[in-house]
Copies of this chain bind each other. A is one copy, B any other.
Amino acid sequence: MKNFLNPIGVIHSVFKSRQDCPRQSAFSDKKAEIELFPEFEAGLKDLESFSHIHVFYLLDKSDSYSLSVQTGWTAEPKGLFSTRTPNRPTPLGYSAVKVNSINGKRIEINGIDAVEGTKVLDIKPYIPEIDSKKKAKAGC
């Protein structure tokens, strides 16, 4: 597992602290930017043909978790894995976001619940045929 974590860039965000962040990234219309480290720029080739991307990032402000989470959406606490709390055993952030533009190593995106300087671990193309679960149902 040595060198498993190899950040490829950082997120530039209007949110300067966790308290600024929206509950869910999709509820934010604030623009943000992913800036890849220069050595990874060539990996962005062809990404402009996708309207959306998956972004995976490190929630490194998170340093503890509980398996029982009071979300604010319901009176009863919920099991950790049925919530999107940032406090998780492996504090991995994830958002599917719209790509506005790509310029060199910079990707302008819409709506992400990450603070300024968050380290990006991976970007994958969003492929609607496999990623958009049109019949998915969510609990409350």
Contact = CB atoms under 8 A, between A and B. Distances in A.
Contact of A90 (B26, B121, B129): B121
Interface residues of A, number: 64
Given A80-B43, A122-B92, A125-B84, A137 B4 contact: no
A56 interface: yes
Contacts of A29: none
Contacts of A67: 40, 42-43, 45
A4 B1 contact: no
Interface in A30-74: 40, 42-54, 56, 58, 60, 67-68
Interface in A3-36: 4-8, 24-27
Contacts of A49: 82, 138-140
11 contacts: A42-B67, A42-B68, A43-B80, A45-B78, A47-B79, A49-B82, A49-B138, A53-B81, A84-B124, A84-B127, A126-B136
